[in-house]
């Protein structure tokens, strides 16, 4: 069964480049971004992990931990880091899960049904769906899921944008419109009546009977 928004993120224990972790314990009181890639020592994945390394500070500002995963063993992850540094100029300091038995990948529905029982003998077709992102909140609930095809490198700036929106909604009763960015107007949710909206946000614009916009609340 696929993982849905607001499901409790499946917990697991796994070996990583930073030792053994229990996922829920590792998350602690933070947000977490669990992202998978098809295979070490491949071109698109190399660029992605380098980008994530370069954005590590941005995720930290948002109290969000990042952790990568593939079906390669931990030893392969450690060797690959040098190539990532050469190609992107970035050092991977976040943990990478070695999931050679496909335990976590299957738990998070990252693989085709016929992927087999281990990483040995895998083909490119087996890896085609393994480019997923899960954002998990401090409550251990899944806040966002995205899956990309094998040939499409992800836009991790979009993941940061989504986290900004998720965290804003968690603090205030607002939603964010299409293509919203930090500092732009937000939408007052239907759960907030007009009198409460005026009290909470001050002036607001009624675009449609069901669409009310206001300035982004300050923390």
Catalytic residues: 45
Q: How many CB atoms lie within 10 A of CB 155?
A: 12
CB 22 within 8 A of CB 13: yes
Q: Is the dihedral of CA 114, 118, 122, 126 positive or negative?
A: positive
Count of residues for the chain? Answer: 219
> What interhelical angle do 156-171 and 43-54 show, nearest 10?
40
The β-bridge relationship of strands 132-136 and 31-36 is: antiparallel
Closest listed residue to residue 151, CA positions, set 3, 47, 77, 2: 47
What is the distance between the alpha carbons of residues 176 and 164, in angstroms, rounded to a whole number? Answer: 10
From edge to edge, which strands make up the β-sheet containing 186-188?
Answer: 174-175, 186-188, 211-214, 205-208
H or E element at residue 22: strand 19-22
């Amino acid at each position: 069964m696929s993982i849905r928004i607001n499901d409790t993120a499946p917990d697991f224990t796994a070996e990583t480049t930073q030792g053994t972790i229990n996922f829920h314990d590792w998350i602690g009181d933070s947000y977490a971004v669990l992202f998978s890639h098809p295979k070490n020592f491949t071109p698109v994945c190399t660029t992605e992990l380098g980008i994530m390394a370069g954005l590590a500070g941005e995720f930290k500002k948002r109290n969000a931990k990042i952790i990568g995963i593939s079906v390669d063993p931990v030893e392969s992850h450690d060797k690959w880091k040098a190539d990532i540094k050469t190609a992107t100029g970035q050092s991977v300091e976040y943990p990478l899960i070695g999931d050679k038995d496909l335990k976590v990948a299957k738990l998070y529905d990252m693989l085709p049904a016929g992927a087999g029982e281990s990483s040995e003998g895998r083909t490119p077709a087996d890896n085609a769906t393994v480019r997923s992102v899960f954002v998990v909140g401090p409550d251990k609930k899944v806040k966002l899921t995205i899956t990309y095809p094998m040939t499409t490198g992800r836009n991790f700036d979009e993941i940061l944008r989504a986290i900004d929106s998720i965290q804003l909604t968690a603090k205030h009763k607002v939603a964010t419109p299409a293509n919203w960015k930090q500092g732009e107007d937000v939408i007052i949710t239907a759960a907030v009546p007009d009198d409460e909206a005026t009290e909470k946000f001050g002036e607001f614009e009624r675009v449609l009977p069901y669409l009310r916009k206001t300035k982004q609340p300050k923390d």
